[in-house]
Amino acid sequence: MPTAELKPWSRQALMTREQALALDAADPLAPLREQFHLPRGDGLIYLDGNSLGLLPRATAARLQQVVVDEWGEGLIGSWNSAGWMAMPTRIGDKIAALLGAGPGELVVADSTSVNLFKLLSAALAIQRQDAPARRVVVSERSNFPTDLYIAQSLCREQGCSLKLVDSPGQIAEALGADTAVLMLTQVNYRSGRLHDMASLNAAAHAAGALTLWDLAHSAGALPVSLNADGADFAVGCGYKFLNGGPGAPAFAWVRPALIDRCVQPLSGWLGHAAPFDFATEYRPATGITRMICGTPPVLALAALECGVDSLLAAEPLGGIAALRAKSLALTRLLITRVAERCAGHGLLLASPDADAQRGSQVSLVFDPTSEACGAAYAVVQALIERGVVGDFRAGSPVGSLAGSLVGSADDRADILRFGVAPLYTRFVDVWDAVEQLAAVLAHGEWRQARHSLRAGVT
Amino acid sequence: MPTAELKPWSRQALMTREQALALDAADPLAPLREQFHLPRGDGLIYLDGNSLGLLPRATAARLQQVVVDEWGEGLIGSWNSAGWMAMPTRIGDKIAALLGAGPGELVVADSTSVNLFKLLSAALAIQRQDAPARRVVVSERSNFPTDLYIAQSLCREQGCSLKLVDSPGQIAEALGADTAVLMLTQVNYRSGRLHDMASLNAAAHAAGALTLWDLAHSAGALPVSLNADGADFAVGCGYKFLNGGPGAPAFAWVRPALIDRCVQPLSGWLGHAAPFDFATEYRPATGITRMICGTPPVLALAALECGVDSLLAAEPLGGIAALRAKSLALTRLLITRVAERCAGHGLLLASPDADAQRGSQVSLVFDPTSEACGAAYAVVQALIERGVVGDFRAGSPVGSLAGSLVGSADDRADILRFGVAPLYTRFVDVWDAVEQLAAVLAHGEWRQARHSLRAGVT
């Protein structure tokens, strides 16, 4: 069982609710919240934008336009006249601007899983040419499962193997003369731990490996500098901090110096150099468009573009750097307030306390000696009944967590996970959410909470 | 260059426009047309539903509901409460009912290209176990390119080869002791030629091969009996006759006796047996859900469901069999009227004249001696200016065509392609479209037609 010690979590001075309100009033990013549909007439505190971002107000109208005007009236002509064919690259360019990448380097297509398959396959093929002895993919056991499943599949097919490390500190030593690719998710979906991309790219390159990053919990939440930090490949998700809607299309990026060498097996017709020649032989398109496979999902792309635009609207206000500063202030406030208001209930921080290592979420677990241990799901349900939406991840390996938690590799803990989305989460939301959490714990409301169906999309 | 002879195309008696109107008035399927948004206030004759189906009226309202209520208000809770997680199988069951397949046998996911990759990979893996000497995929050179590109990629990776035949008559003799999979598109996208699925499945099985069918131009247009006709694998497209919208998700079906043996490389988390256990090792789900990869594209799925429902609405009126009978009557009328009204302009039928071999489209080419030869694109543009939308496919190999056209394997011809969608195409639409075509030819309007950008999604 995990053992733990409740350390003082914060160096920040204690605040009042009025001070939280004052922070919101002084926040130059505050107007960005007006871009969103606020559920229950602004009666819900939503701390799950790291799972599914809020609906931008622009989306519904834009979808009506695409459906009624472009599809209903324009029909097939809209592939050109309404710019449908260009959507994967046009929206790709917008996302690239959020990730330190250039125009023409990133494309929107398929799902994160499918894009991982394309890019990992392309990376392994390059290594097979350049360094055939490199047949190992290094990743973390705590990586999001789909990343591991795709890597398992490709490794099995290509006679490679997957080496999983149990903690971030073991990554560098796992890299060696046999490493083909270092494949990591930058922000861990359970702990919220943030990798230092630049130093890991440097370590991988020093070892002769290529790097593939999953930016699912990074894109739109914190600054990413794909080119400057020396990444080789990246994929990411459209439905979390990019606010693209449930199951939104994903993206794929390749370092420009590598793209011409990339062969990917999902050689669908819209990744062809001249799809409308209807040639019999596949010939990959120049540049990143070779990562497109089938026909672009126009309706989903239109919704994603509205979501991406909601982030680009922050550019005149400081952009991603300003959003990151606010995100850190929000998670710091959450950590501080939980430490103060929930003391005595055995809540432990499962996210890094250090700002530089924390993504845009705070994860908590109950000490095994706590009365509420094992009731994390019920606590999340009780919070939802009080109008605060966080989420829950069952049986997380303690070794994959961080913060003040200590345990052996086999220990498991249930996580309470609270994401902040600096585009729309306010300081007072965090303040009030912790007050509700304190009330749930003080009143033991989790004893009554209904155990409804568990599911959600991380 | 192709040579040709203008044969009498039809055995049907000549008609008047009044008789066409009378056919519509007596058509029990006619009310189904009211399900659709009719472009330009019913001022357009749309004969391109084989490329992109019309917009169902229900779609816009349903998308608003999904966006505003389910996403905007329900947020992550909608994965369960609004049934998002079940959409791939729920809609899959509806499509299965159109294809002679049972519930739980078909799933909606990804694109046609991606699903081809999954199923062809699974089929090759089964043969590798059962009959390792079978390493050839047989298909037609005239197959839709994405099918060939995906097969090329898998064959290269797995040390197999792709054998392409130049005409349907060569398929049976191409099957042999080395054949792993016969991969065909049931209705050719250029000629509209329809394969007899039952006899080709029988021939393939007699030769020890598995069959994989692309139903892009079949699903929703004509009766398919996947189980009764002995098919092994099938994929298909959501945006043509299923009216799912531009880039709609595609589907995948596997014969129930084979599904438990299917290993597919796109092993994403939602094809896992227990995705919310977040286990480290991939374990495929039971049944067809193992063909799911990433997170379901909810908005696109909602639009597709409206399209599929527009077909299911035909069930009380005779269903797909009744739609097929109407489709054949429409294409027969089109053929007859072109022969009568466009005589002297060198138009040749490039689709099969025999009903049993014709899908839901009619393709035409110009005789090389015709003044309009080389002007097919301009003719399509001139028709659009007259409110008739068909489409155009450049440089089609004459060997891939049918009808009264004869030519060597290297000959190429530009196709005029007219699709009929029996859910909404009327007899009078076909009548009027041919009148407009006759006028374009009689007045030589194609000489003035603007050559705007060419593109479209077949």
Supply B204's token pair: 């393939």
Q: Which CATH code is given to the segment(s) B3-56+319-447? A: 3.90.1150.10
B417 is catalytic: yes
Contacts of A247 by beta carbon, 8 Å cutoff, 6+ apart: A111, A239, A300, A457, B84, B294, B295, B296, B297, B298, B299, B300, B301
- Choice among B36, B46, B117, B144 that is catalytic: B144
The segment(s) of chain B belonging to CATH 3.90.1150.10 are: 3-56+319-447
The predicted pLDDT at position A62 comes to 98
Supply B253's token pair: 């079906």
Q: Do A55 and B71 touch (CB under 8 A)?
A: yes
Minimal CA separation from A429 to chain B, in Å: 17
Closest to B112 (Cα-Cα) out of B70, B167, B150: B150
- The second-level CATH assignment, the architecture, of A3-57+318-447 is Alpha-Beta Complex (3.90)
Q: Amino acid identity of B150?
A: I
Supply B386's token pair: 């007259």
The predicted pLDDT at position A1 comes to 35
The segment(s) of chain B belonging to CATH 3.40.640.10 are: 83-312
A277 is catalytic: no
pLDDT along chain B (458 residues), means of 10: 41 79 97 97 96 98 98 97 98 98 98 98 98 98 96 96 96 97 97 97 98 98 98 98 98 98 96 93 96 98 98 98 97 95 93 96 92 90 96 77 56 89 98 97 83 43
Angle of helix B298-312 versus helix A298-312 axis, rounded to 10:
150
Minimal CA separation from B55 to chain A, in Å: 5
Dihedrals phi, psi of B19, to nearest 5 degrees:
-70, -35
The segment(s) of chain A belonging to CATH 3.40.640.10 are: 83-313
CATH class, range A83-313: alpha beta
List chain B residues with CB under 8 Å of A84: 246-247
The CATH T-level fold of domain B83-312 is Aspartate Aminotransferase; domain 2 (3.40.640)
The segment(s) of chain A belonging to CATH 3.90.1150.10 are: 3-57+318-447
Instruction: Annotate B105-126 with b (16+ C-beta within 10 A) or e (fewer).
Output: bbbbbbbbbbbbbbbbbbbbbb
The predicted pLDDT at position A449 comes to 62
Interface test with B, best of A68, A115, A214, A293 (most B CBs within 10 A): A293
The predicted pLDDT at position A406 comes to 52
Q: Do B145 and A278 touch (CB under 8 A)?
A: yes
A189 is catalytic: no
Q: Do B266 and A454 touch (CB under 8 A)?
A: no
d(CA B254, CA B418): 31
Q: What is the pTM of this model?
A: 0.95
Q: Do B266 and A293 touch (CB under 8 A)?
A: no
| DSSP 8-state class, residue A358 | B
Q: Do A52 and B299 touch (CB under 8 A)?
A: no
Sequential pLDDT tens for chain A (458 residues):
343 443 444 445 568 999 999 999 999 999 999 999 999 999 999 999 999 999 999 999 999 999 999 999 999 999 999 999 999 999 999 999 999 999 999 999 999 999 999 999 999 999 999 999 999 999 999 999 999 999 999 999 999 999 999 999 999 999 999 999 999 999 999 999 999 999 999 999 999 999 999 999 999 999 999 999 999 999 999 999 999 999 999 999 999 999 999 999 999 999 999 999 899 999 999 999 999 999 999 999 999 999 999 999 999 999 999 999 999 999 999 999 999 999 999 999 999 999 999 999 999 999 988 888 889 999 999 999 999 999 988 877 766 676 555 555 556 788 999 999 999 999 999 999 999 999 999 999 988 764 443 444 44
d(CA A52, CA A247): 9
Contacts of B316 by beta carbon, 8 Å cutoff, 6+ apart: none
d(CA B234, CA B98): 13
Supply A249's token pair: 């299309």
- Choice among B46, B117, B189, B239 that is catalytic: B239
Q: Tokens 């398959």 — which residue?
A: A117
